[in-house]
A and B are shown apart, each in its own frame.
Chain A
């Protein structure tokens, strides 16, 4: 297993366009998280799944953002009608469900909205 992988690594899009990112977690991990990180800040929680169920969404997550994990494996994060303020690094992490186990992070997708 090569760890958590995210695709694409970089995305430049025009304001108003839709974008979709993919995350492939570590195969035996049933929890999957999405975070957003802007320059000089720590990662900020967006949402997480346990298997295919989306268990929590941040209040910061506008209705332009949607995430899915249809078969409990990979996940997608879609941003509709992108705005310049959406420019950030989008991080995915996965972990086992039980206890306070380590979350493993992907290298992220850097989104630039022009």
Chain B
């Protein structure tokens, strides 16, 4: 079945450091890929998405590119801020959309 694997956390960075959180997936067909973020005390919210191969999703300085050849959707940000401290979840939906399959989440802590 479909699955998502993320790099384990927690990840601790200093402010303005470069961030990469790895995500790889297993899926049949042509899934859509998502990054969701959960800030402390808040619900999950969509950060960015990509619906087909080679698409790049971007939002709030974060980017991720849908790489079908490596089945990956790594999250990157050039310069993190303390306010980016949160748990990040990679997820996919199948061909017809619908339910999300999540990775286990990666906790990011950014220190001033």
Residue positions of A touching B, CB distance < 8 A? 4, 31, 33, 35, 40-45, 48, 56, 91, 93, 95, 97-108
Contact = CB atoms under 8 A, between A and B. Distances in A.
Contacts of A4: 43
A105 B49 CA distance: 16
Given A41-B105, A42-B91, A103 B51 contact: no
5 contacts: A42-B105, A98-B97, A100-B49, A100-B93, A103-B46
A91 B51 CA distance: 24
B82 interface: no
A33 B44 CA distance: 13
Contacts, number: 56
B102 to A, nearest CB: 3
Which of the listed residues A4, A45, A48, A100 has the most CB atoms from chain B within 10 Å of its own CB? A100
B60 interface: no
Nearest to A55: B98
Nearest to A47: B99
Give the interface size bracket for B toward A.
20 to 34
Nearest to A4: B43
Contact of A100 (B36, B97, B102, B103): B97
Nearest to B41: A107
A56 B93 CA distance: 14
A48 B91 CA distance: 17
Interface in B73-112: 89, 91, 93, 97-105
A35 B89 CA distance: 14
B101 A45 contact: yes
B1 to A, nearest CB: 10
Contacts of B46: 102-104
A56 B98 contact: yes
B72 interface: no
